[in-house]
Chain A
Amino acid sequence: MSGLHLRIEPPGAEPIDRECEGGALTFGRSAGSDVIIADQSMSRQHARIAARDNGWIVEDLGARNGTFVNGVRIDGATPIAPGDVLKMGASTIRISERGVTPDTGALGTGHLSSSIFRKVSDITGDLDRDATAPARMAARLKALNDFHRAMAEPISLDALLEQLLDRLFATLHPEEGVILLRQSDGTMATASSRRLPGAKGELLVSRRLVSEVVDKATAALVSDIEFDERFAGSHSIVGSGIRSILAAPIGDAAGCAGMVAIYSRASVRRFSEEDLELLVSLASAAALRIRNVALAEEAASRRVQDRELALAHDIQMAMLPRRFAERPEVDAAAALIPARAVGGDLYDFFITGDSLWFIVADAAGKGVSAALFMAITRTLFRAVAHEDVAVATVVEKMNAELARDNERQFFVTALAGRMDLQSGEVTLVSAGHPAPLHGSTAAPRVLPMANGVSLGIVEDACYAEVRLMLAHGDVLVLFTDGVTEAVNSAGGMFGDGRLLETFRAHATKPSGEIVANIVAAVNEYASSAPQEDDITVLALRYR
């Protein structure tokens, strides 16, 4: 049985073309009809055209003004064939063979089967199948051609999505269009959308539709929502007033990057399979380019980020003192190697009067948050450490300040101290920090410390001081756990033992060599394993 072409001529309105392959199509004024005709002389449910085994029939659905075939009012199912002219109210419906368009100016076509879900691979490359509508085909090929040409130019992601919507609105005349793209976290989000003026309500992004199209990489044609059981339970679609949907995945061999969907609320404007072919073709053309553009934009934003991080790195490094030999009584040297561009480790020292103040600290976590906490810690240390303040008081003040409103419980371990350059007396306070190494004429050792709570957690914490008299030539080495917890590729840790061993081997050398040798030993141990934590070493020799 061959299909039919229907030319519907409502009174005082543009004609509507529909094509039928099988099934049934109802006509009437009400929204419940497949073809809604704004004709007051028609009944709400006026008539029905349906396929039978041996041809097509029309039947009146109890219309007040009746249904006429070639001028004769029908009563019951009446066979119809190409060439027949139907009359419903003041509207005329001319029947011709499917594919035979009476003349140009068609608004589009429809199918009786209300929806089609097809694998994209079945649709692409099939565009020139229907050669019987040259004008429409020409417009579509032009749209594709224009789009391909636009894709060949350098284009931003936003401009590309605009182009895609431009082509769709110019060719397929939807009322709304939306493009979803997969985000870095895997979810789909609206990347671009457009609506004709007058479209009301929320822009529809149906989860049901997304799962049909994106997850199954299937193009969707829903020519009438009300008759599509796939969406029967989807209130977001059924309640939207949308009658017809076209949707296609934006994807290539590498996977599905998104979805483009267009909607029509118009009762007489339903999308056809041919429309779907165009949408799929445009979406395929867009897919590869979107992926390339997304990659390029990601790379560009990463470059910006990298530049900013490099700048932050420079700022952070500039906070660390680099002039090490301000006084003849002390030989100081330090190294700080962040695991990332910026880190949470800190060392600092400065001289006021006859006191050398120093600190090594390690803010919890990594990256920018740790670096910010590190910068605050350093600023606080400089602000509160003065000649006439006890070391414990300095640490207590820093702690109280860091603990204030610390909802996220950031903390920093610190070993702070003061060296009296006249006497060589050192006062040390540990806040959750590894104990320092002490080198003297006796065997180098780990200095026993009184350990307090890390800074930032217990607002009113008290800290105990440890005092030590340095002889001329004695050396103190402060470090962060990035040294002792440096891992090698076998999962082993550098550990306290290796640190002490390395220190012993170089304890009598200048501070700079002690630091360099410890860093070298850690690097040699870790070998090719990635550095997981910032590494800081500070050596102070009393001369």
Chain B
Amino acid sequence: MQIQQSSRDGVAIVSPRGRIDTTTSGAVEDTIRHLVDGGARNLIVDLSGVEYISSAGLRVFLVLAKRMRDLRGKLVLSGMTEPVRQVFQLAGFMALFLVEPTQDSAFATFTRA
């Protein structure tokens, strides 16, 4: 599991690569929590490098979405691969997230607002 971080015009971008499962979800959660603790309120998680996500991984994003709602921040998930999209879809979670096909289109949702 590799997790890249960058930022673009005040939008924090986190790009995990690999599998997000019971073993690796903690690292993803810690990285994002650290960003939000540090004040990040505009956040893109780019999932284009994630080939698998387990239920433990889904929980990371549910907790994050809830926290961003509470903080009146904004979270966009971008670049979901087909297997990851299917897991979100099957669990019935697609409607709970702002989802964009690419990092650029995700970024555009911040500049439009």
Contacts and interface: CB of A to CB of B under 8 A. Distances in A.
A42 interface: no
A365 B95 CA distance: 22
Given A362-B55, A432-B90, A434-B90, A409 B66 contact: yes
B51 to A, nearest CB: 10
Given A366-B22, A409-B66, A454 B93 contact: yes
Nearest to B91: A432
Interface in B74-113: 89-93, 95-96
Given A453-B96, A457-B96, A409 B91 contact: no
A366 B91 CA distance: 17
B59 interface: yes
A72 to B, nearest CB: 73
B91 A411 contact: yes
B58 interface: yes
A411 B62 contact: yes
Contacts of A364: 55-56, 58-59
- Most chain-B Cβ atoms within 10 A of its Cβ — which of A409, A410, A431, A458? A409
Interface in A440-494: 451-454, 457-458
A432 B22 contact: no
Given A364-B55, A365-B22, A451 B62 contact: no
B68 to A, nearest CB: 13
A272 B93 CA distance: 69
Contacts of B54: 533
Contacts of A458: 96
Contacts of A432: 90-93
A329 B61 CA distance: 44
Contact of B91 (A365, A454, A532): A454
Interface in A365-379: 365-366
B63 interface: yes
B92 A453 contact: yes
A410 B62 CA distance: 9
Nearest to A339: B22
Given A365-B22, A366-B22, A409-B66, A453 B93 contact: yes
A362 B55 CA distance: 9
Contacts of A413: 55, 90-91
Interface in A16-37: none
A533 B56 CA distance: 11
Nearest to B56: A365
Nearest to B58: A364
Which 10 A-B pairs have CB atoms at the shortest separation, nearest pair first? A453-B92, A364-B55, A409-B62, A432-B91, A432-B92, A409-B63, A454-B91, A365-B56, A364-B59, A452-B92
Interface of A: 362, 364-366, 408-411, 413, 431-434, 451-454, 457-458, 532-533
Given A364-B59, A411-B58, 13 more contacts: A365-B22, A409-B59, A409-B62, A409-B63, A409-B66, A431-B92, A432-B92, A434-B90, A451-B92, A453-B96, A454-B91, A457-B62, A533-B54
15 contacts: A362-B55, A365-B55, A366-B56, A409-B62, A409-B63, A410-B59, A411-B59, A413-B90, A433-B90, A434-B90, A453-B91, A453-B92, A454-B92, A457-B62, A458-B96
